[in-house]
């Protein structure tokens, strides 16, 4: 169980903890495809073919395996590769990515997350800690956060202990004084535990606990955990 008396700050995963990620990505893909139809029509036609985008993305991921932590780089390079294969100007990848990325920030928080963040932020400093490439400060969750640490910028991804320690360092706190909240049982919960943090599992998808270690405090929604912490 949590040692509430030791918790001085909270780090939070973003995608699938505060908002559902795949509807967000799907909307961004549509906006990108519409932009390509106007500015790079041959690329738009190519990407509309079944399986083509997935195959290009897989090839880019394999080619740049050392960049697995940097989803921004991988997405931009997949767009660039699509342009090249379609015979259109590869420099358009930068503008195309920015269109995608702007819509990527247009997230829709889970019901109850906004008031939960407001309550938590009134008591604890909050830091975003994500393997994804969402910019929390460009989302409606942004006003409640003091800082953010991303795998893309830091250079390694959760569950590597170093990124958890970097988040604690942002707060000038030892890891044991920080509570990490996230939806992924491995990258978030197990990673935080092995990094010396306290943790709770925000199990929004109703998954079974997959590890031999005792299951930590588990809630289905951030608001539920908020009630526990602030009772």
Secondary structure of residue 6 in the 3-state scheme: helix
What secondary structure letter does DSSP report for 96? H
Question: What is the DSSP secondary structure assignment for residue 5, as one 8-state letter?
Answer: G
Q: Can you tell me the distance from the alpha carbon of 208 to that of 187, in angstroms, rounded to the nearest whole number?
A: 15
Among 37, 25, 26, CA closest to 71: 25
Active-site residue among 13, 15, 184, 188? 13
Cβ neighbors of 113 (< 8 A, separation 6 or more) are 18, 19, 141, 221, 222, 223
Helices (H), the chain: 21-39, 41-48, 52-63, 71-86, 92-104, 113-121, 151-154, 161-170, 191-194, 222-230
Neighbours of 21 (CB within 10 A): 17
To the query of whether residue 15 is one of the catalytic residues in this protein, the response is: no
Which positions are catalytic?
13
């Amino acid at each position: 169980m949590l040692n509430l008396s030791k918790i001085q700050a909270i780090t939070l995963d973003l995608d699938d903890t505060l908002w559902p990620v795949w509807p967000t990505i799907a909307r961004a893909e549509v906006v990108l495809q519409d932009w390509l139809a106007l500015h790079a029509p041959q690329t738009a036609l190519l990407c509309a073919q079944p399986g083509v985008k997935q195959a290009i993305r897989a090839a880019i991921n394999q080619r740049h395996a050392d960049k697995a932590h940097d989803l921004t780089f991988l997405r931009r390079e997949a767009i660039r590769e699509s342009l090249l294969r379609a015979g259109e100007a590869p420099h358009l990848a930068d503008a195309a990515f920015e269109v995608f990325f702007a819509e990527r920030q247009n997230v829709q928080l889970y019901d109850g997350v906004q008031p939960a963040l407001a309550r938590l932020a009134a008591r604890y400093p909050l830091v975003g800690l994500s393997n994804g490439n969402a910019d929390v400060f460009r989302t409606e969750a942004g006003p409640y956060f003091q800082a953010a640490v991303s795998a893309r910028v830091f250079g390694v991804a959760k569950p590597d202990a170093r990124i958890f320690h970097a988040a604690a360092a942002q707060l000038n706190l030892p890891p044991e004084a920080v509570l990490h909240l996230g939806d992924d049982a491995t990258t978030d919960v197990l990673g935080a535990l092995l990094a010396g943090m306290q943790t709770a599992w925000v199990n929004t998808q109703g998954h079974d606990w997959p590890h031999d270690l005792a299951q930590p405090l588990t809630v289905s929604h951030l608001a539920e955990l908020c009630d526990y912490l602030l009772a």
